[in-house]
């Protein structure tokens, strides 16, 4: 049981970080494209981007919490 819990914790953190990295990259790239097309909408786009990035960052936080739970179960 111990080794499997460590593997589960590593997968939870790794996949959470991978998903967040891809998601943040997509959000920021689309925001930069939008600002390039409409510079006057910069403040609105930035605010929406920060909210989106914050929501995407919830995934690795949940992954770390799950890793602690799996680690404690071992």
pLDDT one-digit tens code per residue, 50-74: 999 999 999 899 888 888 888 887 7
Query: DSSP state, 1?
Result: -
Beta carbons of 46 and 31 less than 8 angstroms apart: yes
Structural domain total, the chain: 1
In this prediction, residues 36-49 reach a mean pLDDT of 96
In this prediction, residues 3-19 reach a mean pLDDT of 86
Q: Which residues contact 70 (CB under 8 A, 6 or more apart)?
A: 5, 6, 8, 9, 12
What is the CATH classification number for the domain harbouring 18? Answer: 1.20.20.10
């Amino acid at each position: 049981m111990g080794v499997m819990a460590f593997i589960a914790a590593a997968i939870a953190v790794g996949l959470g970080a991978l998903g967040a990295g891809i998601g943040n990259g997509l959000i920021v790239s689309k925001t930069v494209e939008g600002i390039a097309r409409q510079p006057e909408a910069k403040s609105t786009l930035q605010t929406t981007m920060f909210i989106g990035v914050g929501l995407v960052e919830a995934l690795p936080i949940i992954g770390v919490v799950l890793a602690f739970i799996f680690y404690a179960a071992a």
